[in-house]
Amino acid sequence: MTRIGIVTNRYRNLAGAATAAILLSMSAAPAAQAAAPAPPCNADSLVKETLPNGTTWQMCWRIHKLAGLVLDKVFVSSTRYPEPVQVLESIAMAQLNVPYDSGAVEYNDLTDYGFGGGNLQSLGGDDCKGGSARVGSDNAAEPERRSVLCVSAEPSGLAYRLQNPEESKPPIAKQGHDLVLRAISKVGWYEYITEYRFADNGRITARLGATGDLSPGDFVTPDKGWPIGKGAQSYSTNHYHSAFWRVDFNIAGAGKEKVEQYDTKRAGSGSGAAIFKTAKTAIAKEGSFTKVNRRWWRLVSSTSKNKDDHLRSYELDSGANDPYEAHPETTPDVTFTQQHPCEVFATGNADPQCGNRKTILDYTRDKETMTDPIMWVRVGFHHIPRDEDQSPMPVHWQGFDLTPRDFTEMNPLTPPERDGNNGGPGNGR
Amino acid sequence: MDDIKRATRKRWLAWGSVATTAVLSTAFGIATLDAFAEPTPGPAPKVAADPPQVSNPSPGPAAATGVGDDPLTPQEVAKARSVALTPQLVGAARDVAGAKGPEYLSSDVIEGGKGRDAAFYFYDYRSDELVKQVVDVTRGKVTGSFRAKDMQLPASDREVATALDLVLADPVGAEVKKLYTRVTGKPWSGKDKLKVGAHIYHARPADTTSSQCGRHRCLQLVVRITDGPFVDLNDIIIDLSGRTVVRVK
């Protein structure tokens, strides 16, 4: 209980300091921008926590019957940048496609089964050890309030390290932390962990963990599975988990982000090393895109800038990722579409109000010009079972990072002794 | 202090050389017990500060109404569901049991609405259509009504129970009961011995026996023996619209 008081007061003080600073500098920014935003949801739906390094994340959470955990209205602030600034309008899973390599079965676990309702697990045992199990609606047809969301702060390792200019002093180093939100859904024998990690440096990680047990009934020939159990008798079937997320940015509450793709290509040789040139491609119209070496995308605000006059943005960083080329929807890595309330799931979108808009292929067909882009991220994992998958199966993860790029003019965790270290010597060349 | 440091360093050096010996001697198949001795433990690392904590608010009394995009509260669901079930809808639609009124599937808050708007989803077994009723929860009014064929949402508990009943009443039911006995060693004693979930099943291009699934509402069961293992009934498809049970393999 004491802790709640500390967190709340700290937050309020920081917001107050921001207001004062703006008034003193006679900034043209309206005072309303400086005030902490009124919580856009009931207290039970609000998560607002300050990590040890001073970064505060605030968001609303709820459970959707199909999509499971949904986060809305995500704001970030820090000791250095105390004014809460919105990052996301919402983030949620948008499909989980699980076909088995035998060709016998295929599941769409969100739209044909559902992560919410009765399939959402009540937290118990070590599910939320060291964290806070939050109570909320499971969004079943007849909703129940249960302990379903785990909120915790977890160490993320060394956040930064720099040898102290005064060498007799210890290095300038800090341990980092993540605010972690997770919910667990049981879909048959598999159990899925929907997890979002909000780092004290502004990074957001979305990932899906799979545990539970392997399919008890899918056994095949050696070319489609892996022998588990004694000898070479039971070949557990290889299968895919293709997960989709729907990400709706709302940077600084200004919306209207632009989508940019960056590619870095070899451009000959210099006197000491190869030359590489990086170029931007504006993506103005809806479409699906696939990664090549060194390619990345970002959503950049049209208007909101950091103190260095750079437009704020977040970039998509994906890691291990197996495309599933048997479906056109699960082949590309990312799809950008204009925001439409009808378009909620990447595939299997079933809304009688929305006609034939059922998949991302339908959403992008008219190549609409985007004024409010939605990012659909696909991350696939081809699972070849192994002996150690039984039992329970060790959690295997798939997901991506959203990394701030120019959201603040310096690292939000920069300590006071590094205050002046912004830009090239002599303020750039 | 210096002595301690020196002593510690010496021990580590000694450990390093022993480890090297171990690798070499193992290579020649003469591993010694000494080679696996652990180094003398040094001083324990300084205990880190308390692990980071988050607040742990005790949930207050459940709010009667939500704010913004908050989930619908049980009171809001109860109130708006009765509004969504207009006399016209109840009169014309049929549920999974063939009785008057549509089958209730789910409800959700409509994101980004100005007030509290909810979508209620039903299945009409008479026309094989998914029905969406948009309800202004605050004013208690239906503000939109939509229906479409060839569109399915996950099954309600009642639909899953109905599907199991259809399986047990079908000739394949005898196989399910036999499977139960084979797995548990006990005679079949009733459907409460099974815990059942279900995926919506859509016909695959190669399906011949269940090609109507998708236009019809079909389920594929996920069955676990109560307090026991899962059993595989993947090849049994239940067509709730046609009230038939077919095999797909």
In angstroms, the CA A247 to CA A205 distance is 12
Is the residue at A352 inside a domain?
yes
Give me the pLDDT at residue B115, please.
Answer: 85
Based on the domain organization, do B173 and B241 belong to the same domain?
yes
Residues β-bridged to residue A63: A69
Is the residue at B117 inside a domain?
yes
Is the residue at A221 inside a domain?
no
Based on the domain organization, do B143 and B169 belong to the same domain?
no
Mean pLDDT for the stretch of residues A180-196: 97
The rounded mean pLDDT for chain A is 90
Is the residue at A21 inside a domain?
no
Range of the domain at A338: 37-213+239-383+393-414
Give me the pLDDT at residue B5, please.
Answer: 45
Residue A425 has pLDDT above 80, yes or no: no
Based on the domain organization, do B92 and B127 belong to the same domain?
yes
Mean pLDDT for the stretch of residues A163-184: 95
Is the residue at B57 inside a domain?
no
Is the residue at A12 inside a domain?
no
* pLDDT, tens digit (0-9, with 9 covering 90-100), for B193-238: 999 999 999 998 888 889 999 999 999 999 999 888 888 898 999 9
Which of B148, B180, B208 is at the close of a domain? B148
Based on the domain organization, do B165 and B240 belong to the same domain?
yes
Based on the domain organization, do B112 and B183 belong to the same domain?
no
Give me the pLDDT at residue A37, please.
Answer: 56
Is the residue at B207 inside a domain?
yes
- What CATH number did the domain enclosing A278 receive? 2.70.98.20
Is the residue at A427 inside a domain?
no
Based on the domain organization, do B161 and B239 belong to the same domain?
yes
Which of B82, B113, B148 is at the close of a domain? B148
Based on the domain organization, do B162 and B239 belong to the same domain?
yes
- What CATH number did the domain enclosing B191 receive? 3.10.450
Is the residue at B101 inside a domain?
yes
* pLDDT, tens digit (0-9, with 9 covering 90-100), for A46-98: 999 999 999 999 999 999 999 999 999 999 999 999 999 999 999 999 999 99
Contacts of A134 in chain B (CB under 8 A): 57, 59
* Predicted TM-score (pTM) of this structure: 0.88
Based on the domain organization, do B239 and B163 belong to the same domain?
yes
Give me the pLDDT at residue A217, please.
Answer: 80
Q: Does A9 touch chain B (CB under 8 A)?
A: no
Is the residue at A223 inside a domain?
no
Q: Which of B71, B201, B234 sits opposite A63 (nearest CB)?
A: B71
Ranges under pLDDT 50 in chain B: 1-32
Residue of B nearest to A51 (CA): B52
Which of B148, B168, B186 is at the close of a domain? B148
Contacts of A42 in chain B (CB under 8 A): 63, 66-67, 70
Residue A172 has pLDDT above 80, yes or no: yes
Based on the domain organization, do B129 and B192 belong to the same domain?
no
Shortest CA distance to A250 belongs to which of A392, A393, A40, A101?
A: A40
Range of the domain at B243: 157-247
Is the residue at B42 inside a domain?
no
Count: domains in chain A? 1
Contacts of A118 in chain B (CB under 8 A): 157
- What CATH number did the domain enclosing B117 receive? 3.10.450.40
User: Pick the residue with more confidence: A6 or A241?
Assistant: A241
* pLDDT, tens digit (0-9, with 9 covering 90-100), for B144-154: 999 999 999 99
Count: domains in chain B? 3
Tell me what ipTM this predicted complex has: 0.87
Helix (H) or strand (E) holding A204: strand A204-212
Is the residue at B211 inside a domain?
yes
Is the residue at B46 inside a domain?
no
